[in-house]
Amino acid sequence: MVNPADAYLGQVLNSRYRLDGHLGTGNFSYVFEAFDLQSGSKVALKMLLPSAATSVEAVIEFDTEARLLRILSACANVTNLTDSGRSSLIVEINGVPASIDVLFHVMELAAGALDDLLPRRHELIWTEKMRLFRDIVAGTHQMHTKMIAHRDLKSSNVLLYDDAAAPRVVAKVADLGRSCDLTQPPRFPTDSYFTGRGDLAFAPPEYLWGLGETSRAALRRADIYLLGSVLFELATAQGMTGAALPHGWDDLHSLGAMTETERAAAFPAAVRSMSRHYDTALGLMADELPPVIRHYSVELVRQLCNPDPTRREHRFRAERKNPTWGLQWLVRRVDIMTKNLERSEALEPARRTVRRR
């Protein structure tokens, strides 16, 4: 089967970026490995699909991503934008060569995405997984301190980079097309946000109930849920919503006959019912965790992914001094788990020695 993206390979955008390989296709864009003829380096080039160029929504999201990445340019755990613009390419339309204009972003080239690791996650020790998760929390924290909500966090939207200075693989938050600058008014009509803007397979349950909001508190809590889901993915290779609410999409359709007021009134009782499903999913996660962090990790995800949005931000007394729009409290908890893992791993050779005796 012919890949439509192959038609662009070998072409040069802005007399600078040569498209050398197709890395993937999203809802509205192609991602290519490109060669920067000016700097002599490899880069990632994200190009808006020509078929999406007539969609006002797609163009707005594409432009928004570049604008937000510029705001976040100094953030160590958010992918780095190096250029963006418009260029002409030649494509064949019904066998006839034609010139078309395309929008593109240029970013640092990643070694892969976090979801590439999930099928072989058991090859990674949990210390490495927790360090990656800390990077993701740190990236989201950096976004939140700039008053930007991601809204579509999941393993496929986290990129991995080889960092010689670390030296280890570093995770960075990426794919900000559906992200939101909370200092700006909503871009679309209010009803466009009832089910959120991200992937419903990973969405918090309030979105499956069509109760999404554009308030700062609601968007912060949704991101917190998605972070918990990423940790759940690192353990189980699936998102929390898909595991706990496998029929969530069907529920969304069945709730369509209810008014927003009726859904809001019924949601608290539904939360109590959903909690049992979340407990079952957390049991699956517990089976994948080392004993030294099992209880702590499960309880953390229980909080972050609580189907009641108002209970996701519970902070201990020592954490309440931190600003509301920051995730220092969550970074600290991840650090505690990582240190416990490191201590456990340091003791392991001694334990093996004792057993041999």
pLDDT tens column, 273-294: 999 999 999 999 999 999 999 9
Confidence of residue 357 (pLDDT cuts 50, 70, 90): very low
Which pTM does this prediction carry? 0.93
Distance separating alpha carbons of residues 263 and 153, to the nearest angstrom: 25
Q: Are 115 and 156 in contact, with CB atoms under 8 Å apart?
A: yes
| Chain position carrying tokens 């038609």 | 7
Statement: residue 352 has pLDDT above 70: no
Q: What is the mean pLDDT of the chain?
A: 92
For the chain, domains (ranges, CATH) are: 4-108 (3.30.200.20), 112-344 (1.10.510.10)
Cα→Cα distances 335→92, 172, 195, 303, Å: 53, 17, 33, 17
Cα→Cα distances 195→30, 141, 199, 203, Å: 25, 24, 10, 8
Statement: residue 81 has pLDDT above 70: yes
Average pLDDT over residues 18-44: 95
Average pLDDT over residues 235-258: 85
What pLDDT does 349 receive? 63
Q: Which long-range contacts (CB under 8 A, 24 or more apart) does 6-14 make?
A: 7/91, 7/92, 8/32, 8/47, 8/89, 8/91, 11/89, 11/90, 12/37, 13/45, 13/47, 13/87, 13/89, 13/102, 13/104, 14/85, 14/87
| Chain position carrying tokens 């690791």 | 117
Average pLDDT over residues 55-60: 91
